[in-house]
Homo-oligomer: A and B are copies of this chain.
């Protein structure tokens, strides 16, 4: 969109109470973030390569970038071990788990809607 646009926030409806959303939505942008959080929770702390393999299709560039953002927001922890070859482990912080929980709720309603729609279609097809 464009965050630098002059008259954007804090005016009327858009701004006000919902503005922290900007932050969190930028967090979630691209399905990648969700997948990363999901995998970190499901498979526990893991290394860059593992994560990359699990989040099928993501490029190293993207993974790095998203992890940095997540780290900056305090959702993910990065542990660097300067061995050769280096070993970097990522894990969810308390905040990360909190986000995961809310995402779980989203997934829940999404799943239910999907099921409802499927049922509705089946009904319509059968008549």
Give the interface of A toward B (CB within 8 A): 1-2, 5, 7-9, 11-15, 17-18, 20-26, 28-32, 34-35, 38-39, 42-43, 53-57, 73-74, 95, 98-99, 102-103, 105-107, 109-111, 113-114, 117
Given that A13-B39, A57-B7, A105-B105 are contacting pairs, would A32 and B114 also be in contact in the complex, using a CB cutoff of 8 Å?
no
Q: What DSSP secondary structure best describes chain A's contact surface?
A: helix
Q: Could you tell me if A56 and B24 are in contact, using CB atoms closer than 8 angstroms?
A: no
Q: Could you tell me if B32 and A29 are in contact, using CB atoms closer than 8 angstroms?
A: no
Give A98's nearest chain B residue, CB to CB. Answer: B109
Give A111's nearest chain B residue, CB to CB. Answer: B20
Known: A14-B56, A14-B57, A21-B38. 7 other contacts (CB 8 A): A5-B57, A13-B35, A13-B38, A18-B34, A24-B109, A28-B28, A99-B109
Can you list 13 A-B contacts (CB < 8 A)? A1-B57, A11-B56, A13-B42, A14-B38, A18-B107, A20-B107, A20-B110, A21-B31, A21-B107, A24-B110, A25-B28, A95-B113, A102-B102
In the bound complex, residues from chain B placing their C-beta under 8 Å from that of A22 are 31
